[in-house]
A and B are shown apart, each in its own frame.
Chain A
Amino acid sequence: MNISAVSLELASLSLGLLTIILGLIFPSFRSKNTGGYLAIMGLISMLIGSLYLPASNTQTFINTFYVQDSLALFFKQLFIVVAIFVNAMSLRYLKPYTKNRGDYFALTFFALTGMMIMASAAEFITLYIGLELMTFTFVLLTTYKKQDLKSGEAGLKYLLLSAISSGVLLYGLSLIYGLTGKLDFSAISTVFSIGSVSPLLVWAIIMVLSGLGFKIALVPFHMWTPDVYEGAPTPITAFLAVGSKAAGFVAFIRVFFHVFAPFTSIFMPLLITLTVLTLLIGNLIALAQTHLKRFLAYSSIAHVGYILLGVIAYSKLGLSAILFYLMLYLFANIGAFAGVTALVINTGHDRISDLAGLWKCSPFLSVIFLISLLSLAGIPPTAGFIGKFYLFTEAIHQGYLWLAALALGLSLVAVYYYLMVIRTLLSGTSEETQPFIIPFSLRLVMIVSAAMTIGIGIWPGPFTDLALNIAQSFY
């Protein structure tokens, strides 16, 4: 037994339970932000501690069902960073909701634990339980604004649709178990590598693809995304858009790069079709959005399409491009959602038209929006450019020139709609006259994410090396 393989999960779990217990003992702890400060401090120490965990060799907990390799550790650190940002964004945002604030911070820890379990699971039951732990917690966090009907609607939609997608995923997993008699990834891939293809296996692959596709918002399993993103509290939307999606991707990587590796000829045509659909629908529907959070939801769907180019490339460099892109996607999205949070705090709205004249009210906020949206659009010198560059070149390198060309064309469409938002922000007159109040915690989140977005763009070396090392050890 190797406790260090689960040390981060245990830390996250204990902090979550501690937050609940403290809230039960001290009522003021629940109604004030103390829990949030505790959460942020705990998460930062977890992040520092995780740097000392051995990353070079794969560690297993009890057996090979639960592994901590460099891929898992990378994703866990990514989740912790997201959780720090989300908690920091929530501090001021939660002010109208004085009750149960402590529970909110506790729930973010449980969502984090679920994601971490997904990152480390090398066996289907553990993976599924981690996925459900994450989903359940996100349903609760989504419905956190109980007075707001949209929040309740979003929670209900998320619950029902994820129940259906879980059903499909479980059916697929049961078929895999029926065909192989195994549940852990390495045993299944051993059976698969000598076995033949049966029609039922195709079904299993389709079902697993749709179950995991739901979590990463792959078209046509994306229908929940805009509604849930719109209804959820804005920091939770950021958590969903970055954390939940990255957790879906780590499961996706493990299952499709490892378990289904002998069957690339079966799932690849399917995956390519869905990627094309995702790119088309994500980018084209984003054009028509008037609501900032729905707009970012469709933009995040489009980004799934770009990231999937790395899966389609199906190579070491493709995997490293995915990991690199997830890093910069994190900072760009956190920047954008922190901007939306600031907008909601000050104006109470989050329509794109509310951005008009922002340049005069708050130049700082405008610059943050500018940097984040330019990075999402993939314009140099921001990190988005380099990330897209790596993904597209690797796709071309593996012979998918047409797909890369399509993605490039659609990302030009994306540039157009991001620039439309930026134009609204820079021109126009605002009804607001007084300057925006941006709390210190939010300001810090914005500065760090913007600095990282520019920093990765100018000096990508260390980050690409990190991604490449992880991809190398995974292969």
Chain B
Amino acid sequence: MIILFYLFSAILLAFALGTVISTNLIHSALLMMGSFFAVAGLYLLLQADYLAMVQILVYVGAIAILLVFGVMLTRKGSIEESNLPNRYKTIGLVTALGLFGLLARSITYTRFPSPPLESPPQNIIAIAQAFLLQYIVAFEALGILLLIAILGAILIGKEPK
């Protein structure tokens, strides 16, 4: 288990780093897909099998593909240099490393309540019950949010006559 955790984490970090560093937007998108797979692996280790499935289905299957299509349909100019770092490269690196260091130190210093506080919902039934009973307001509001997203895409995307 522990070995698998470190393996998935290493893959995730490598892919995530590649996403940021790559100068080709398509490569970045593909590397990001890889990091989504690694996250799904971590979910599996946490026994959140449904979440892992949804992660692959939604993030890899829909969002990443949509991103690649978006790049292909809108991009002008050379794809080789479509994701260049801006002039704040050094400052960004220093800030990110500093923040990472501080957070990592805090996380190792903090004693988390153990054992795990609530066993994660192991099956779809438990998740469905949480959605439709406890979190019903949030769930319904998400439905409306999606409706607005569709409406907004039409409103913004439609050419004015």
Contact = CB atoms under 8 A, between A and B. Distances in A.
B138 A125 contact: yes
A151 to B, nearest CB: 11
B151 to A, nearest CB: 7
B86 interface: no
Nearest to B105: A199
Contacts of A6: 137
Given A126-B135, A179-B110, A179-B112, A103 B141 contact: no
Interface in B105-125: 105-107, 109-113, 116-118
A125 to B, nearest CB: 5
Contact of B113 (A20, A136, A181, A201): A181
Interface stretch (A60-68, A230-238, A391-399): A60-68
A199 B109 CA distance: 7
Contacts of A125: 135, 138
B136 interface: yes
A112 to B, nearest CB: 12
Contacts of A117: 137, 141
Interface residues of B, number: 30
Contacts of A201: 110
Nearest to B136: A62
Query: How many A residues are at the interface, by size bracket?
Result: 35 or more
Nearest to A178: B112
A133 B141 contact: yes
A129 B138 contact: yes
Nearest to B133: A62
Contact of A65 (B105, B116, B134): B134
A99 B154 CA distance: 13
B145 interface: yes
B133 A107 contact: no
Interface of B: 103, 105-107, 109-113, 116-118, 133-138, 141-142, 144-145, 148-149, 151-152, 155-156, 160-161
Q: Would you list the 7 A-B pairs with minimal beta carbon distance, nearest first?
A: A181-B117, A199-B106, A198-B110, A200-B110, A140-B152, A126-B138, A129-B138
25 contacts: A13-B144, A61-B137, A62-B136, A65-B134, A65-B137, A106-B151, A107-B148, A110-B148, A113-B141, A120-B137, A125-B135, A125-B138, A133-B141, A133-B148, A136-B149, A137-B148, A140-B148, A144-B155, A147-B160, A181-B116, A181-B117, A182-B117, A198-B109, A199-B110, A201-B110
